[in-house]
Amino acid sequence: MIFLKIALLNLRSHPRRTAVIITAIALAVGIMETVAGMVDGMRNNFFTNMLEESGHIQVIAAGKEDSLDPFSIEHTLDEYTDIIDTARSLPGVEDASPFLTFGALLITEEKNIFMAGNGISSASGFNKSLDESIVKGSLNGIEDGVLISRETARLMKLDYGDTVIILVEDSEGAPYYLSFPVRGIYQTKSSDFDNMNLFMSIEQAQELLYLPGRASTVKLKLTDKDLAQTAAEHLAQAYAGMPVVIKTWRQIHGNFMLLIDLFDLFIYIMNLFTVIVAAAVITNSVLMNMFDRAREFGTMRAVGLKKSGLFALITTEGLSLGFLGSLAGLALGIPVVLYFQEYGLDFGAISESFGMGSAFYFHLTAKYIILNFASGILIALAGAAYAAWVIIRKSVIDTLSWR
């Protein structure tokens, strides 16, 4: 207790130096907390939002992925309802829904625009985020009309209830069009997504494309993403020899997983750099402090304090500084993470190009709070331990006669 008392009293009696060290630790911890919040937000965005959209498993018509045209309807799943039934019978499958994607020309009297058409099922569990992003109308509007984004509506001068023509190349290669009322307007956080997509019921899409009973993909949502491999193997067994490709979320998002790994590496390098800079500042400041007090330490040694005791005394100061600095760092970092968790950090086209929307939404986790708090303490402890090591190597006489 006397060591802690001396440590705390010394911190108070050297306010400027204490402030420098605590600021260095606080900045390091604050930066680490912010970076961790950002990267964890990306990871969280991936596991909640992107998997929500892509599903954990996709059953795709063989050959579709090799097509040069991403909107090609040449390869579609026949009897997809059978696949859905099979999938729903598997353990851990929460939802299985059909999707029919196609290229479409949206035509009004004045303008036309090319878009990705999405035939979806209104009962699908994958529609949650779309449903939440609707600003006018409702999701049920896909049954007899289309959903377009607010940006598309602005560009095409459309509003809820207006009629729009959708022109496609049908399954026989012939141009075909139908008129649809606008039954809903949505706005997501991704302007790229909004500019590109329109939605209608899969039945309407099948009629438009002349593809009765067909879908381009069946997406499966699982109760646990770790069940994906087992479920995919079951499906592969059930449809062995059939013209389908089954992909797990790891295969679907292979590039993004790599990106996450890269960001993990980035966070380690960034944290390492922060730790080195902070540790250098702290070690230097602690050393200066210790040399200023060398005679005091020499006196303590002269009256009987052992080297181990002196080491403990100095590192207790380091621990105290680390504790206070880490608290201050979290006080800096947590509000930043909370702010960007609520409002997002806008990276515009950069994050859009990775399919993550126009902004990164940070994520605050207890794990990183604890880790960064511990890191701050360890940085200070390492700096103090080095200073202590330098001091205890000196003889009692050297420290007593230090000038």
Partner 1 sequence: MALIKITDLHKQYHLGRTTIAALKGISFDIEAGDFITILGPSGCGKTTLLNLIGSIDDPSSGSILFEDQNICGLSDNRKSEIRLTKIGFIFQSFNLIPVLNVRENIEFPMILANAPPRTRTARIDELVETVGLKDFELHKPDELSGGQRQRVAIARALVNRPKLVIADEPTANLDSVTGTMIIEEMKALNEQEKVTFVFSTHNQDVMKYAKRIIRLKDGAIVS
Q: Which residues contact partner 1 (rule: CB under 8 A)?
A: 2, 5-6, 9-10, 12-13, 295-296, 298-309, 395-397, 400
Of 13 and 237, the one with the shorter C-beta distance to partner 1 is 13
Q: Which residue has the tokens 């598997």?
A: 90
> What is the Cα Rg of the chain in Å?
31
Q: Residue 288 CB, nearest distance to partner 1 (Å)? A: 17
Q: Residue 50 CB, nearest distance to partner 1 (Å)? A: 56
Of 9 and 258, the one with the shorter C-beta distance to partner 1 is 9
Q: Residue 403 CB, nearest distance to partner 1 (Å)? A: 12
For residues 6 and 218, what is the distance between their CA atoms, to the nearest angstrom?
68
Q: Residue 38 CB, nearest distance to partner 1 (Å)? A: 41
DSSP secondary structure string for all residues of 254-303: HHHHHHHHHHHHHHHHHHHHHHHHHHHHHHHHHHHHHHHTHHHHHHHHHT
Of 301 and 363, the one with the shorter C-beta distance to partner 1 is 301
Q: Residue 294 CB, nearest distance to partner 1 (Å)? A: 12
Q: Residue 370 CB, nearest distance to partner 1 (Å)? A: 32
Q: Which two tokens stand for residue 175?
A: 């141009």
Q: Parallel, antiparallel, or unpaired: how do β-strands 197-201 and 112-120 relate?
A: parallel
Q: How far is CA 198 from CA 60, 120, 330, in A?
A: 21, 10, 44
DSSP one-letter code for 210: T
Residue type, 198: L
Of 5 and 88, the one with the shorter C-beta distance to partner 1 is 5
DSSP one-letter code for 362: P
For residues 375 and 172, what is the distance between their CA atoms, to the nearest angstrom?
64
Instruction: Give the number of other CB atoms < 10 A from CB of residue 78.
Output: 14
Of 9 and 135, the one with the shorter C-beta distance to partner 1 is 9
Q: Residue 311 CB, nearest distance to partner 1 (Å)? A: 12
Q: What is the b/e burial string over 191-209, where b = at least 16 CB atoms within 10 angstroms of the residue's CB?
A: bebbebbbbbbbbbbbbbb
Of 223 and 308, the one with the shorter C-beta distance to partner 1 is 308
Q: Residue 303 CB, nearest distance to partner 1 (Å)? A: 5
Of 6 and 260, the one with the shorter C-beta distance to partner 1 is 6
Q: Residue 305 CB, nearest distance to partner 1 (Å)? A: 6
Q: How far is CA 375 from CA 30, 271, 276, 367, in A?
A: 11, 10, 12, 12
Of 155 and 390, the one with the shorter C-beta distance to partner 1 is 390
Of 9 and 331, the one with the shorter C-beta distance to partner 1 is 9
Of 370 and 397, the one with the shorter C-beta distance to partner 1 is 397
Instruction: Note the helical H segments in 59-176.
Output: 80-88, 128-132, 150-155
Helix axes 366-392, 254-292, angle to 10 degrees: 30
For residues 235 and 82, what is the distance between their CA atoms, to the nearest angstrom?
11
For residues 110 and 94, what is the distance between their CA atoms, to the nearest angstrom?
44
Contacts of 330 (CB under 8 A, 6+ apart): 29, 30, 33, 369, 372, 373
DSSP one-letter code for 126: G
Of 194 and 317, the one with the shorter C-beta distance to partner 1 is 317
For residues 307 and 210, what is the distance between their CA atoms, to the nearest angstrom?
87
> Virtual CA dihedral for 299, 380, 281, 402, nearest 10 degrees?
10
Q: Residue 308 CB, nearest distance to partner 1 (Å)? A: 8
Q: Residue 9 CB, nearest distance to partner 1 (Å)? A: 4
